[in-house]
Amino acid sequence: MRIEDYALIGDMQSAALVGRDGSIDWLCLPRFDSPACFARLLGTGDHGFWRLAPAGMERASRRSYIPDTLILETVWETAGGTVKVIDFMPPRHENPDLVRIVEGVSGTVEMTTEICIRFDYGRIVPWVRRRDGLLHAIGGPDSVWIHSPVPLEGGGYRHSAAFRVSAGDRLPFIFTWHPSYQPPPEAIDPIAQLAATRELWEEWVSRCTYHGPWRDAVVRSLITLKALTYRPTGGIVAAPTTSLPEHLGGVRNWDYRYCWLRDAAMTLEALTSTGYLEEAAAWRDWLIRAVAGRPEDHQVVYGVAGERRLPELILDWLPGYENSRPVRIGNGAAGQVQLDVYGQMLNALFEARRRGLPPDDHVWAMMRAVLGFLEVNWAQPDEGLWEVRGPRRHFVHSKVMAWVAFDRAVRAVRLGWREGPADRWQELRDRIHAEVCAKGYDPERATFTQSYGSRELDAALLLIPIVGFLPPEDPRVASTIAAIERELMTDGLVLRYPIAEENPIDGLPGTEGAFLACSFWLAQARAMTGRVAEAVELFELLLSLRNDVGLLAEEYDPRLGRQLGNFPQAFSHIHLVRTALALDRAVRAAGAAARTAR
């Protein structure tokens, strides 16, 4: 199936992808980054799945989330009647549970279910036995119990059943994981957990402070970001999947089930700007633990509990999504130098403090250590925002974000929030600014460039006015936006940077789709430079690219009309939220200005 044919369910510790054919094709337990027990997403049916659907039907009639929740309802209309399947993962108690409830809506429907459990990303076929009327699958450290209201028959290392559902019937299936060396878990009440899960999400959404014209899209994105938060620690994963390709059949396939400081900091900004300070505090606590130690030992990406060793491995037994190889787990970016993350961190903490997050002495001490490291190292080349696998460069965006780090530190001191050498930091800030304007701007082409001395463009340059490096009215901002629109846009969407098969900037073969976050940046930049109508038009186009339940992957291929990359992608939903808020302000300001002019 297409990437956008999936929907997300989760319990804020792990997540599953449910297809429009009623099949759960991806589920890692007990954590986001654990080995998958359903891995058909990256392989075949032999690598694990669980399908629940009417007999003979390949695609649901419609589906949606219960409003303001992460509870998925899939409706199937057949000749004999209508049936609904409710999929959710309840708030975790001791063990993770996945619940599927079949409800008869009208008439009578012949249903089928088939479940194929494979541990370790499809590599381990478990031993399955019946015990106390349940199915029990065990393999190494993993154990699964299946509560089924209908008898499941084994064959071919799978289990299946055919059954009938009539109007008013309600049949719950429960899939529970636990460590194989522990006693059997206690059974949950699926109906009670459905109510509890709904109440949890509705209460959380009720705290949202945004009530603008795009509230539905913003709320769905906020729920998605919350679902990607690892509740025990406050860490935020970039996506719940690995190796969904940026180019079908290509090698740009990465594991995003980890916590990037940059992505998590931006998620924090999206959440705090809509009223969620509790999440900000949890992430700040995670940050202190994760980066504890010397600043020179900091990484750009960590495990959900702050783990630092994320070795990149290839799962050669999986053929990959639509034959996109290799399938990777772990992420080699953990060893890269990306200087922009420090600016992202300080900016996120500055904005959280501005919006009411109480100060923390330990955090400020850590930030001062980071600033000391950046004072010495800001002028070094790095791998940059896009984690290039080619040689290090002096990326303009990295220098701009170093400027942001010192700018926010200076402002924190000037506002009386903290004490520090503001004069020295201000001198550094001004020196970085002058160097970027001198070495990162091409006067001949009237545009900032991707790196010092290069002629290539980079969509990250759109952030120059957004982070306040230059005011929107600066002519260099307008000319850079124009250059990006002229050279990096395809079918109305923005590429990250130019990619040529014969000379790839990032050291990788193949091409990729349009990076959705970059298009959101362009919408914001247009609004800031007075092009509000064009900004809204682009934003509405981006909203139209969401799937039927409001989710976005990392990229979009306009030629194929398909989403690409890991899914759902926090980076895309972060910037949907931030752009909605920015455009809301811009539209209201433009309206006020028009009324004043009259």
Same domain, 503 and 476: yes
Short-list 368, 399, 367, CA closest to 382 = 399
Same domain, 227 and 179: no
Co-location of 103 and 183 in the same domain:
yes
Q: Which domain holds residue 369?
A: 207-597
Within this chain, do residues 518 and 543 fall inside the same structural domain, yes or no?
Answer: yes
Whole-angstrom distance, CA of residue 427 vs CA of residue 113: 66
Q: Are residues 131 and 232 in the same domain?
A: no
Regarding whether 195 and 296 lie in a shared domain, the answer is: no
Domain end call among 202, 223, 243: 202
Residues 348 and 388 in one domain: yes
What is the C-alpha separation between 334 and 300, in angstroms, rounded? 6
CATH number where 56 lies: 2.70.98
| Torsion angle of the four alpha carbons 94, 100, 105, 108, in this order, in degrees rounded to the nearest 10 | -130
CA dihedral sign, ordered 417, 422, 428, 432? positive
Rg of the chain's alpha carbons, rounded to an integer? 25
Q: In what order do the strands lie in the sheet with 514-515?
A: 514-515, 555-557, 562-564
C-alpha 317: how far from chain center: 26
d(CA 293, CA 295): 6
**Domain total of the chain:** 2
Give the predicted TM-score (pTM) of the model.
Answer: 0.95
How far from chain centre, in Å, is Cα 299? Answer: 19
Q: Are residues 309 and 438 in the same domain?
A: yes
Q: What is the pLDDT of residue 144?
A: 97
| Shared-domain flag, residues 322 and 306 | yes
Q: Both tokens of residue 192?
A: 């009670």
If asked whether residues 221 and 154 sit together in one domain, one would say no
Domain CATH for 542: 1.50.10.10
Last residue within a domain, chosen from 202, 233, 261? 202
pLDDT for 504 = 57
What per-residue confidence (pLDDT) applies to 43?
A: 96
CA 359, 403, 518, 212 torsion: positive or negative?
positive
58-100 pLDDT per residue, tens = 999 999 999 999 999 999 999 999 999 999 999 998 899 999 9
**Site of tokens 């994760």:** 290
Does residue 288 sit in the same domain as residue 341?
yes
- pLDDT at position 507 is 60
- 321: nearest Cα among 258, 255, 242: 242
Question: Residue for token digits 């949202």?
Answer: 208
Domain end point (choices 185, 202, 219): 202
Residues of the chain with pLDDT under 70: 500-510, 595, 597-598
Omega before residue 35 within 30° of 0, cis = no
Count Cα atoms within 13 angstroms, Cβ side, for 591.
6
Residues 181 and 228 grouped into a single domain: no
